[in-house]
Amino acid sequence: MPLTSQDAGWRRMTCNPMRPSIWFILAGNAVIPTIDAACRVASEQGVPLLISGGIGHSTTFLYAAIARHPRYNRIPTTGRAEAAILADIAREVWSIPPERILVEDQSTNCGENARFSWERIKQTGLTPERVLVVQDPTMQRRTMATFAHVCRDEPAAPLFISHPGLTPVLQNSDNGLTFSGGHEGLWPVERYVSLLLGELPRLWDDINGYGPAGRGFIAHVDFPAEVQAAWRILREDAILTEALESRSLI
């Protein structure tokens, strides 16, 4: 693919020897604090921001999150790729210059986020030393394993660093489980728990998982025994299962 004018602008900017070779990749998602974190750091540190995401099965969650947000709700969403929406937010709300934003708007899943983002980086002719990857925290581990898989045979691949933007913490309250520090821009608690329970089996490296021994989508992921034990306890809890099933979440 020929070098675009945007790619040329990136090359002029990032080849400055005084600028560290660090980029951000923001994978499309609907978790507002994660989006904020990526845009804030990219804006403050003046680093390139590659935004990845087309239209997938979870894009409507982003549309809804943007519609509820007091600053972002002026950004048009319907029928648009996730990367296009997030690029508008980066430019119009966080004042990130267009020449520091690169858009990949064709990916529809986690695997394509990684593969298409890496291809987009290579199209610029630049090789960053480090890339901080920002994703929905429930998908962060899988996303990192996907980048490792995609770039396993790439001698010039950068160091991909996990940077989810926030670490959700649940706490008990008079109203049941809530997020510590507030829930603005986060999932409903039930959806968060459901996503976690569904995510771990994808990460397992067995015949049913996404690892090399299974579907071959991601690199091998090591699991501490206590994590597997905690997953089994939650998955076998009758009250939790009933609550999630009643909301069609599992």
pLDDT digits (tens, 9 = 90+) for 20-66: 489 999 999 999 999 999 999 999 999 999 999 999 999 999 999 99
pLDDT at 245 over 90: no
pLDDT at 3 over 50: no
Domain ranges of the chain: 5-162, 170-246
Q: Under CATH, what is the fold of the domain 5-162?
A: Rossmann fold (3.40.50)
Comparing 68-72, 201-205, 242-246, the range with the smallest average pLDDT is 242-246
Q: Are 17 and 69 in contact (CB under 8 A)?
A: no
Count of H-run helices and E-run strands, the chain: 9, 7
pLDDT digits (tens, 9 = 90+) for 103-159: 999 999 999 999 999 999 999 988 899 999 999 999 999 999 999 999 999 998 999
Q: How confident is the model at residue 240 (pLDDT cuts 50, 70, 90)?
A: confident
Distance CA 145, CA 2 (A): 30
Q: Are 14 and 131 in contact (CB under 8 A)?
A: no
Q: How confident is the model at residue 239 (pLDDT cuts 50, 70, 90)?
A: confident
Mean pLDDT within 64-79: 97
Q: Please report the pLDDT score of residue 1 as a whole number.
A: 46
> SS3 of 133, please?
strand
Q: Across the strands, what pairs with 171? A: 178
CATH of domain 170-246: 1.10.3620.10
Distance CA 95, CA 31 (A): 20
177 vs 7, residue with greater confidence: 177
Q: What pTM did the predictor assign?
A: 0.87
Q: Over the chain, what is the mean pLDDT?
A: 89
Q: Please report the pLDDT score of residue 19 as a whole number.
A: 43
